[in-house]
């Protein structure tokens, strides 16, 4: 997902591909965030109530660059109050809008890299590129960075420039999809794309039919692990795991 005020790359899974959503979630994500210093927001972004803190004059490029390394690696992060994260089966933002008290516990997230792209001393804004794992909130990162610098900060713009192997160059504007009508399928990507870190096993017609009936097929080696099972046309039939008998048990089977 992306926050309503954000833009950028958003994979959309359709039909049977929704069953591999968890593997898409595991892809690293790259963002370019615009952070405004000297102010705070109750939502962590420009959609909330903005309150002046110290003023951006307390911040400079050197201080930001010195603070960023503290946010790399596995760190604890408290999710934003206004977020889709669920508590008791309900999104936090719904509870927050009703004025309910919400307990937010810190979670461990991972930031692989973070760097300052540029800093506008007049506007008090910085553009920061972040590459992270799943569950990291850029709004929380902006707030935590502002707190670390003693100035306050909020996220004023956000673009997701990549998720896994998909970049902005691969993305199709929503307006283009709508205008294409039934021709939108021309932009569909292979369903096995999120699984390509696993070896592929090519099945003949009989093997594909057996897998679709839930039957195991021989593994090509003794290494075990997970495999993509592809039919004669190269389409994803299933993914499975090899057991101790060197046979691949289907874990998710997709319709023809």
Q: Which residues are catalytic?
A: 3
The whole-angstrom separation of Cα 69 and Cα 60 is: 16
């Amino acid at each position: 997902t992306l926050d309503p005020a954000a833009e950028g790359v958003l994979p959309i899974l359709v039909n049977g591909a929704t069953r591999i959503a968890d593997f898409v979630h595991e892809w690293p994500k790259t963002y370019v965030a615009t952070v405004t210093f000297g102010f705070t927001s109750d939502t962590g972004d420009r959609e909330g109530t903005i309150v002046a803190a110290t003023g951006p004059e307390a911040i400079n490029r050197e201080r930001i660059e010195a603070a960023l390394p503290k946010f790399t690696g596995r760190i604890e992060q408290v999710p934003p109050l206004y977020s889709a994260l669920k508590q008791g089966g309900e999104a936090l933002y719904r509870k927050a809008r009703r004025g309910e008290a919400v307990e937010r516990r810190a979670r461990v997230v991972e930031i692989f890299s973070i760097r300052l792209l540029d800093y506008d001393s007049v506007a008090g804004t910085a553009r920061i590129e972040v590459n992270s794992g799943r569950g990291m909130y850029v709004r929380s990162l902006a707030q935590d960075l502002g707190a670390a610098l003693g100035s306050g900060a909020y996220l004023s713009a956000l673009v997701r420039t990549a998720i896994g192997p998909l970049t902005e160059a691969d993305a199709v504007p929503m307006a283009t999809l709508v205008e294409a009508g039934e021709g939108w399928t021309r932009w569909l990507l292979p369903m096995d794309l999120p699984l390509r870190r696993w070896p592929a096993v090519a099945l003949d017609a009989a093997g594909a039919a057996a897998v679709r009936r839930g039957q195991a097929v021989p593994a090509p080696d003794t290494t075990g692990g997970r495999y993509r099972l592809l039919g004669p046309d190269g389409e994803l039939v299933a993914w499975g795991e090899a057991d101790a008998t060197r046979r691949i048990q289907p874990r998710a089977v997709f319709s023809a």
